[in-house]
A = this chain, B = another copy of it.
Amino acid sequence: MGIRIALMGYGNLARGVESAIKQNEDLELVAVFTRRDPSSVKIRTTGAQVVDASKVEEWKDKIDVLVVCGGSATDLPVQTPKYAKMFNVVDSFDTHAKIPEHFANVDKAAKESGKTAIISMGWDPGMFSLVRMVSDSILPEGKHYTFWGKGISQGHSDAIRRIPGVKDARQYTIPIESAIDEVRSGSNPVFTARQMHKRECFVVAEEGADKQAIENAIKTMPNYFSDYDTTVHFISQEELNREHGKLPHGGFVLRTGVTGYDKENKHVIEYKLKLDSNPEFTGSVIAAYSRAVYRLNQEGQTGCKTVFDIAPKYLSIKSEEELRKTML
């Protein structure tokens, strides 16, 4: 029997974790918990049960790791500490400014229960954080840059959908290539938000809606759009579904720095992701860290962890000997 994993929720991310579990023979999906009517939720894994979320505590001894697949705004701040009292948990909390508070809450719960938790896992926060942090340690006199895209930002797409007269929308975040090239040159540029990314929106308007008003509402929206060059295209629902139905994403972390007794040598570290499916890649990262959280707990390392706290070997199905022989 493998490591028994359950999912709290069954949205895009949970389905990404589900398919990742299938690719790892030591991981096993045993249950999906839902706030919907369980009979209405069709999952793809034969043998796993769909269970009402209110019954999760009954599964205390039947699950090794619970992946909490809620949203960062309102679900995870409540759910992750709550479930860390019963289970080893992993979440993808990505509200950067609130990470210290979330960490403290989850750490307290997990330490009291003797469980292990990993928060803020995925690719950003997650893999990008790992590269930022390690690169910062290696090249202390330098600067790091994060570019996102080209890819669909769900937060920005949601923001457009909240505008009156909008039926549906997708927003692509697009990194500006000339800015990336400037960073690669090692010149340590300072950018405004507008100089790093642009935003492209595909909008389905309701019949009779004022398109000019919608476009203005988008382009002037603070935080989300007003600081960026934004393009708005009105298209049909059919075209949106056909051309923009996937959830690609990706991005770049770059670290530039100098070395040498007279700081005469430049170095550029570049980490790039090109992802056909944001939730499936995030789910794949979470699956590997589910293995890690289980192992850490078996070793008695309890409390809340992040990507910074976990030795890479814990992620792999391979033995330490095999890793040294084949990957080092």
Contacts and interface: CB of A to CB of B under 8 A. Distances in A.
A270 interface: yes
Contacts of A214: none
Interface string A73-110: 00000000000000000000000100110010000000
Given A316-B136, A328-B120, A265 B284 contact: no
B272 A270 contact: yes
Contact of A284 (B103, B139, B285, B327): B139
A308 B281 contact: no
B140 A24 contact: yes
A273 B269 contact: yes
A150 interface: no
Interface in A251-280: 259-261, 264-277, 280
A313 B275 CA distance: 27
A288 B137 contact: yes
Interface residues of A, number: 71
Nearest to A287: B138
A306 interface: yes
Contacts of A269: 127, 271-273
A263 to B, nearest CB: 8
Interface string A287-304: 010010000000000000
Nearest to A259: B280
A23 B141 contact: yes
Best-surrounded residue of A99, A129, A311 (most CB of chain B within 10 A)? A311
A134 interface: yes
Interface stretch (A14-22, A64-72, A158-166): A14-22
A325 interface: yes
A328 B308 contact: yes
Interface of A: 16, 18-20, 22-24, 44, 96, 99-100, 103, 120, 125, 127, 129-134, 136-141, 184, 259-261, 264-277, 280-281, 283-285, 288, 291, 306-313, 315-318, 320-321, 323-325, 327-328
Given A265-B276, A271-B271, A307-B312, 8 more contacts: A16-B259, A129-B327, A129-B328, A137-B312, A260-B280, A264-B276, A267-B274, A306-B324
14 contacts: A16-B259, A129-B327, A129-B328, A133-B312, A134-B312, A137-B316, A138-B285, A259-B277, A264-B276, A265-B276, A267-B277, A270-B273, A271-B271, A272-B272
> Which 3 residue pairs spanning A and B have beta carbons closest together?
A265-B276, A137-B315, A259-B280
